[in-house]
Amino acid sequence: MAHNHSNHGHAHSHIDPSAGDARVAWAIGVNMLLTAAQVIGGVLSGSLALIADALHNFSDAIALIIAFFARKIARRPADARMSFGYGRAEVVAALVNYTTLVVLSVYLFYEGVMRFFEPEPINGWMVVWIAALALVIDLITAALTYSMAKESMNIRAAFVHNVADALGSVAVIVAGSAVIWFNWIWVDPAVTIMISVYILWHVKAEIGETIRVLMLGAPPELDPEEVATAIEGTKGVTEVHHVHLWSMQERQSALTAHLVIAADVWPGAEDVRESVRQILKDRFGIGHATLELEQSERACIGSSRFGHQEN
């Protein structure tokens, strides 16, 4: 699902971008064909579980499509109107993807519950064959990404997701078999509900990070207090306030702050600013820092350490 695209630009950074694009395009094509086959099969066989599994594969394809276009958009240079660049296109797209998935999962859950009360006949053999095809494709994709998963966090996420997809297909095969052997039609809606709950659980695990980036929250790997303390520990800095720490894109931290410089060091204030900039880069990997200098006698009175509200 969408967690496997948020980092796509970085996953292929050591490959020629267009080669990465071609690989993503192939993956999209395969997933789209599989989705179409499962939806048609689900409608013809009367299996809701097959349609739920199709939705799951469709979410993969959508995530890959987002990755494909967001990678292209994110490569655009910054301009006057978009001074921070276009890297957040991926994050916005991820939020749209997750929101759509929540709506579809809730709908599937509702349909699954309704089916318990009004069962419909199901063609078990068709369900099994199409789910088996989906399983084979999931396993091939997992095999392709397995070796690359060791070196890339992004591909590792895609690999884990493929394994989860394969398990979804196994569940649908079980549902189809239950119809063939025991004529247990109820297994199909039960599997549908399981898949919809699984998708919701997945979204819950991933959507927080997306919202945090859009809400300009501090990167989870950085402790704002630790960063502020490190700045104050720099020779010549007596205090730091109005600290804003956020993610420009998923892996790019930025910081703005007011540095209060001791009066006796004021002539060398530029050197102090440079030292702080170096510490931020070396210790915390913050490459984008805007630091405002204030002389200790003229510093803002009673200002908050983080954010911009006055006390």
**Residue 239, domain CATH:** 3.30.70.1350
Q: Is the pLDDT confidence value at 11 over 70?
A: no
The count of structural domains within the chain is 2
Q: Who wins on pLDDT, 163 or 218?
A: 218
* 303 belongs to a structural domain: no
* 119 belongs to a structural domain: yes
Q: For residue range 64-121, list pLDDT tens digits in order.
A: 777 677 777 877 888 999 888 887 887 887 888 888 889 888 999 999 999 989 888 8
- Predicted confidence at residue 18, as pLDDT, reads 57
Q: Is the pLDDT confidence value at 55 over 80?
A: yes
What is the value of pTM for the model shown?
Answer: 0.74
User: Do 19 and 121 lie in a common domain?
Assistant: yes
* 27 belongs to a structural domain: yes
User: Do 84 and 182 lie in a common domain?
Assistant: yes
Q: Give residue 8's pLDDT band: very low, low, confident or very high (50, 70, 90).
A: very low
Q: Is the pLDDT confidence value at 244 over 90?
A: yes
User: Do 200 and 64 lie in a common domain?
Assistant: yes
pLDDT, mean of residues 153-162: 66
Q: Residue 8 and residue 29: Cα distance in Å, rounded?
A: 17
Buried b / exposed e along 244-273 (16+ C-beta atoms within 10 A): ebbbbbbebbbbebbbbbbeebeeebeebb
User: Do 110 and 231 lie in a common domain?
Assistant: no
User: Do 252 and 127 lie in a common domain?
Assistant: no
In single-letter form, the type of residue at position 206 comes to E
**Residue 114, domain CATH:** 1.20.1510.10
From the list 243, 247, 251, 234, the residue with the least C-alpha distance to 307 is 243
Task: Supply the range of the domain harboring residue 128.
Answer: 2-214
User: Do 74 and 133 lie in a common domain?
Assistant: yes
* 305 belongs to a structural domain: no
Tokens of 6: 């948020």
Q: Who wins on pLDDT, 255 or 93?
A: 255
- Predicted confidence at residue 10, as pLDDT, reads 36
User: Do 200 and 86 lie in a common domain?
Assistant: yes
Q: Give residue 268's pLDDT band: very low, low, confident or very high (50, 70, 90).
A: very high
Mean residue pLDDT of the chain comes to 83
Tokens of 96: 């749209």
Domain boundary among the residues 154, 185, 214 is at 214
User: Do 104 and 145 lie in a common domain?
Assistant: yes
- Predicted confidence at residue 111, as pLDDT, reads 92
Domain boundary among the residues 180, 214, 248 is at 214
Q: For residue range 194-210, list pLDDT tens digits in order.
A: 999 988 988 888 888 88
In single-letter form, the type of residue at position 43 comes to V
* 56 belongs to a structural domain: yes
Q: Who wins on pLDDT, 59 or 216?
A: 216
Q: Who wins on pLDDT, 281 or 85?
A: 281
Burial class (CB in 10 A: 0-12, 13-18, 19+), 279: middle
- Predicted confidence at residue 271, as pLDDT, reads 95
* 71 belongs to a structural domain: yes
Q: Give residue 15's pLDDT band: very low, low, confident or very high (50, 70, 90).
A: very low
Q: Is the pLDDT confidence value at 175 over 80?
A: yes
